């Protein structure tokens, strides 16, 4: 008996500390994935209670079990179809009424429920006293346990209650909806019970109530199963109730639930007659103040941006250095030991596989810092305020206030921007935001603008760069407006209706867990795509155009398949002024990662005569390598500290007339690539006008493969293909307009 597995579902409103209860119950025995076919996170964990193995499933945070949001459908379907043995409903003790509404709905489903009265310490400090015994009585004897999840208080009692609830007599809670509605419920219930399949699948009374509540999801489902007559009689019942009571049953049923809750709370809770203003309320008066609200918002967004773009940079460099340095060398040594040095296999493993692995791993620090920022914003309660402050602006392009952050992060890197869209509840907003984020010029595109700007415009390079950033924003705006008008015109309005939760101290464990789990999710999923692309490009560069096996992997780029494909594609870009195989080839590799555009150009414009310095380095021992890996890690830690410190001068320096120096802990200064030789080659290969058209194309064309992988992961293959197609077309059109327009105006031509 004790060995029988038990599933416990954890339900509750958002922001009630559900994840702290989940973490306290399951410890480190948990696994994070997605609900099948959905982008909503599914957390599952295990705990052993008195020798019995118990699976804990964390349902998405919802306010209701109506089926209007993805989260609600997931939570409801899980409870209905998987029939967990027990549902633990986590409620915020300081905010009982709204929280009990969900509990009420779960009770109506007829499963054993335990109420975890969380954060009761906070409630008590505000003078709210809850009589647990009375509350339990009011809820028809449902067990009520006081917990403080983030301090592990009440968890043992909760575990004991889980054991007890299995054997306890189940009393389905029956809410009396009044004579008129009850009569209709009885009739519908009888019809449902007459159908053995339906009666097996649903609790008849629950289904009857739901039908009277006009639950669209269930109605559609029933009609699909051929129960049109049942739906039709429900419609008649709705009409009868409305005629006799003057209000529709949906409203009356909801009113009744809140009435029931009002009674329960009235009997069990004593509140001070005058609720004192909480510290959270005081903080909010400043944080969302009429005048300070917007500057504070911009400042916080800027800090998160700095974290993902600059603070992570030393670790990105470190990961890159370790993968291309010691790891590549060790791999080379290992391959030498098994006798395959200087073969195509070595080249495949070093230039294809290891380079691809590095291409994934460099995103790890970026994502960790992104999730740190997002975790702090979400867990502190600020994220809802960000939406509150920004909603008016984002609505212009049909988006939600929360869309601002992903777009801003897009200026650092598109990959974390795509993942940042998870903070949006609405799937449509998420997709559009992710779509637009690619037009925010990411950090990897900047070096291209810098090189071209310096080569063609000298001191005026800044204008080109600034203009490109503005163009990206402009294209995003127009795209957003078009999508709002054309694609989503007929969609029903989405509710903004959003809770502004009280501010609280972020829970380190919850934030840390999220950073780790979400970053791991990217690595797992991006590996295949990025590795595949990396190997494919290697192959294209290795296979000679002549297909002569003797030249495999020794062929020059222009004579490889890569060269011929680039050459074949080149005429497409002739109207934009850069129809050469070299330019096209660097665009192709740029589709893998934007940061390699310049290095590809270095290669194809035949500048690689001077061999890479790293190749001629003196051999090092394993111990020395490990030492240098550790040392460079230490440097990365110091530089990260430096970047955090530098957020201050960088922020203050935005104000004109102030120029604080930035910290430079290691005295290294800014490293810069030597590109003077490339500059000369570029001025020969491009006209100034073609150079502008080329940078415009770089700004707008397909996102890199890592971003593409992230988009496929988040939005699905079809949406990813739309995105690739749209960006390719818009980039080409824009580049051609720039070039041809320039020619017409007689500027910068040949």
Partner 1 sequence: MTEPRTLDQLSPGQKATVKKVGGQGAVRRRLMDMGVVNGVEIELIKAAPLGDPLEFRLRGYHLSLRKNEAQQIEIN
CB of 95 to partner 1, least distance (A): 5
The DSSP secondary-structure symbol of 490 reads T
In the region spanning residues 360 to 389, those forming contacts with partner 1, defined by CB under 8 A, are: 384, 387-389
Under rule CB under 8 A, residue 289 binds partner 1: yes
Nearer to partner 1, 381 or 590 (CB): 381
* Sole binder of partner 1 in the list 19, 20, 30, 95 (CB under 8 A): 95
Of 33-41, 291-299, 318-326, 583-591, the segment contacting partner 1 by CB under 8 A is 291-299
Please name the helix (run of DSSP H) or strand (run of DSSP E) that holds residue 222, with its range, or none: helix 216-224
Binding of partner 1 by 234 (CB under 8 A): no
Q: What is the DSSP string of 400-464?
A: -GGGHHHHHHHTT-HHHHHHHGGG-S-HHHHHHHHHHHTTS--TTTHHHHHHHHHHHHGGGHHHH
- Where does residue 291 fall: left (phi above 0), alpha (psi -120 to 50 degrees), or beta otherwise? alpha
Residue 488 interacts with partner 1 (CB under 8 A): yes or no: no
* Beta-carbon-side half-sphere exposure of residue 303 (alpha carbons within 13 Å): 14
CB of 153 to partner 1, least distance (A): 22
Minimum CB separation from partner 1 for residue 401, in Å? 8
Residue from 39, 140, 254, 324 in contact with partner 1 (CB under 8 A): 254
Q: Which is nearer to partner 1, 242 or 254 (CB)?
A: 254
**How far are the Cα atoms of 100, 112, 116, 155 from residue 149, in angstroms, in the given order?**
18, 21, 10, 7
The CB-of-206 to partner 1 minimum distance in angstroms stands at 17
Q: Which is nearer to partner 1, 286 or 652 (CB)?
A: 286
Q: Which is nearer to partner 1, 260 or 562 (CB)?
A: 260
94 touching partner 1, by CB under 8 A? yes
Could you give phi then psi for residue 126, rounded to 5 degrees?
-90, 5
Q: Smaller CB distance to partner 1: residue 130 or 313?
A: 130
516 CA to centre of own chain: 13
How far apart are the C-alpha atoms of 188 and 183, rounded to whole Å? 9
Q: Which stretch binds partner 1 (CB under 8 A): 81-89, 95-103, 628-636, 724-732?
A: 95-103
Give me the least distance between CB of 685 and partner 1, in Å please: 48
Would you say 390 and 401 are in contact if contact means Cβ atoms under 8 Å apart?
A: yes
Q: Which of 27, 495, 627, 634 binds partner 1 (CB under 8 A)?
A: 495
For the chain, the first-to-last Cα distance in angstroms comes to: 86
Q: Choose between 269 and 331: whose C-beta lies nearer to partner 1.
A: 269
Task: Identify the three-state secondary structure at position 31.
Answer: strand
* Minimum distance from residue 123 beta carbon to partner 1 (Å): 10
Q: Which is nearer to partner 1, 166 or 214 (CB)?
A: 214
**Residue carrying structure tokens 């346990």:** 145
Binding mask 432-451 for partner 1 (x = CB under 8 A): --------------------
Q: Quick one: tokens of 342?
A: 């200087």
Q: Which residues pair with 54 in a beta bridge?
A: 6, 47
Please say which residue, 66 or 475, places its beta carbon nearer to partner 1: 66
When asked if residue 715 is in the footprint of partner 1 (CB under 8 A), the reply is no
Sheet with 86-92: strands ordered across: 30-34, 41-49, 52-58, 6-12, 86-92, 113-118, 143-147
By the 8 A CB rule, do 146 and 117 touch?
Answer: yes
Number of residues counted as binding partner 1 (CB under 8 A): 41
Rounded CA-CA distance 474/482 in Å is: 12
CB 607 within 8 A of CB 285: no
Q: List binders of partner 1 among 96-115 (CB under 8 A).
A: 96-98, 101
Told to check if 600 binds partner 1 by CB under 8 A, we report: no
Q: Judged by CB under 8 A, which of 169, 290, 489, 718 binds partner 1?
A: 290
> What's the min distance (Å) between Cβ of 426 and partner 1?
10
Please say whether the beta carbons of 541 and 562 come within 8 A: yes
> In terms of CB distance, is 379 or 643 closer to partner 1?
379
Widest CA span in the chain: 92
Interaction residues for partner 1, span 35-74 (CB under 8 A): 63-64, 66, 68
Beta carbon nearer to partner 1, 100 or 204: 100
Pick one of 149, 398, 501, 544: the residue that binds partner 1 (CB under 8 A): 501
Euclidean distance between CA atoms 247 and 101, whole angstroms: 20
Binding mask 384-403 for partner 1 (x = CB under 8 A): x--xxx-xxx----------
| Min dist. Cβ of residue 290 to partner 1 (A) | 5
Binding string, residues 444-483; x marks residues near partner 1 by CB under 8 A: ----------------------------------------
Q: Which of 437, 441, 468, 430 is nearest to 452 (CA)?
A: 468
Check binding of 258 to partner 1 (CB under 8 A): yes
Q: Does 494 bind partner 1 (CB under 8 A)?
A: yes
Q: Please, what is the angle between helix 96-108 and helix 249-268, to 10°?
A: 120
- The three-class DSSP label of residue 658 is coil
* CB proximity list for 471: less than 8 A, separation 6 or greater: 696, 699, 700, 734
H-helix or E-strand spanning residue 591? none
Contacting positions for partner 1 (CB under 8 A): 63-64, 66, 68, 94-98, 101, 250-251, 254-255, 258, 275, 284, 288-291, 293-294, 384, 387-389, 391-393, 492-502
């Amino acid at each position: 008996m004790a060995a029988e597995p038990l599933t416990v579902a954890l339900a509750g409103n958002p922001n009630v500390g559900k994840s702290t209860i989940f973490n306290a119950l399951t410890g480190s025995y948990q696994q994070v994935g997605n609900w099948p076919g959905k982008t909503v996170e599914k957390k599952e964990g295990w705990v052993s209670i008195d020798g019995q193995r118990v699976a804990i499933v964390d349902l998405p945070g919802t306010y209701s079990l109506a089926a209007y949001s993805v989260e609600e459908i997931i939570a409801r379907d899980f409870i209905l179809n998987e029939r967990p043995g027990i549902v633990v409903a986590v409620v915020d003790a300081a905010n009982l009424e709204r929280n009990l509404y969900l509990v009420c709905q779960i009770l109506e489903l007829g499963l054993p429920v335990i109420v975890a009265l969380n954060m009761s310490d906070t409630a008590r400090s505000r003078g709210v006293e809850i009589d647990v015994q009375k509350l339990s009585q009011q809820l028809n004897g449902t067990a009520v346990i006081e917990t403080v999840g983030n301090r592990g208080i009440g968890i043992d009692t909760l575990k004991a209650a889980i054991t007890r609830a299995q054997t306890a007599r189940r009393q389905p809670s029956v809410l009396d909806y009044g004579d008129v509605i009850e009569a209709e419920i009885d009739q519908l219930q009888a019809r449902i019970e007459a159908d053995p399949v339906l009666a097996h699948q649903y609790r008849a009374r629950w289904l009857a109530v739901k039908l009277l509540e006009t639950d669209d999801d269930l109605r559609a489902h029933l009609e699909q199963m051929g129960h049109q007559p049942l739906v039709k009689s429900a419609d008649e019942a709705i009409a009868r109730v409305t005629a006799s009571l003057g209000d529709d049953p949906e409203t009356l049923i909801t009113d009744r639930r809140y009435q029931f809750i009002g009674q329960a709370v009235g009997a069990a809770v004593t509140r001070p007659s005058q609720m004192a203003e909480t510290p959270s309320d005081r903080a909010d008066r400043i944080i969302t103040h009429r005048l300070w609200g917007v500057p504070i918002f911009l400042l916080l967004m800027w800090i998160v941006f700095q974290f993902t773009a600059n603070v992570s940079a030393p670790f990105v460099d470190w990961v890159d250095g370790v993968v291309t340095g010691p790891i590549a060398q060790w791999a080379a040594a290992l391959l030498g030991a098994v006798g395959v040095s200087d073969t195509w296999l070595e080249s495949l493993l070093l230039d294809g596989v290891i380079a691809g692995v590095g291409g994934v791993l460099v995103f790890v620090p970026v994502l960790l810092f992104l999730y740190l920022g997002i975790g702090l914003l979400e867990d502190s309660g600020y994220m809802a305020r960000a939406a509150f402050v920004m909603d008016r602006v984002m609505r212009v392009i049909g988006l939600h206030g929360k869309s601002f952050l992903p777009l801003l992060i897009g200026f650092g890197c598109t990959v974390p921007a795509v993942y940042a869209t998870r903070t949006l509840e609405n799937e449509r907003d998420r997709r559009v935001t992710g779509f637009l984020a690619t037009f925010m010029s990411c950090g990897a595109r900047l070096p291209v603008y810098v090189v071209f700007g310096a080569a063609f415009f000298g001191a005026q390079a800044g204008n080109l760069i600034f203009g490109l950033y503005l163009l990206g924003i402009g294209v995003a705006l127009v795209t957003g407006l078009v999508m709002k008008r054309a694609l989503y015109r007929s969609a029903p309005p989405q509710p903004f209706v959003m809770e502004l939760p009280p501010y609280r101290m972020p829970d380190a464990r919850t934030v840390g867990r999220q950073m780790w789990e979400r970053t791991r999710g990217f690595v797992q999923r991006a590996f295949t795509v990025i590795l595949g692309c990396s190997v494919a490009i290697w192959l294209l560069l290795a296979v000679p155009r002549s297909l002569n096996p003797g030249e495999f992997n020794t062929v020059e780029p222009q004579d490889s398949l890569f060269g011929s494909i680039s050459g074949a594609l080149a005429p497409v870009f002739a109207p934009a002024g850069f129809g050469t195989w070299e330019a096209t080839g660097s665009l192709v590799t740029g589709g893998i990662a934007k940061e390699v555009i310049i290095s590809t150009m270095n290669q194809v414009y035949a500048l690689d005569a001077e061999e890479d310095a790293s190749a001629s380095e003196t051999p090092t021992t394993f111990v020395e390598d490990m030492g240098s890996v550790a040392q460079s890690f230490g440097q990365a830690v110091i530089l990260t500290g430096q970047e955090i410190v530098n957020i201050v001068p960088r922020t203050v320096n935005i104000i004109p007339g102030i120029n604080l120096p930035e910290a430079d802990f290691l005295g290294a200064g800014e490293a810069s690539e030597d590109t003077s030789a490339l500059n000369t080659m570029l001025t020969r290969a491009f006209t100034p006008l073609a150079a502008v058209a080329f940078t415009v194309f770089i700004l707008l064309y397909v996102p890199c493969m890592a971003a593409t992988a992230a988009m496929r992961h988040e939005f699905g293959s079809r949406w990813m293909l739309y995105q690739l197609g749209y960006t390719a077309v818009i980039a080409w059109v824009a580049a051609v307009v720039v070039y041809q327009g320039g020619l017409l105006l007689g500027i910068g031509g040949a």
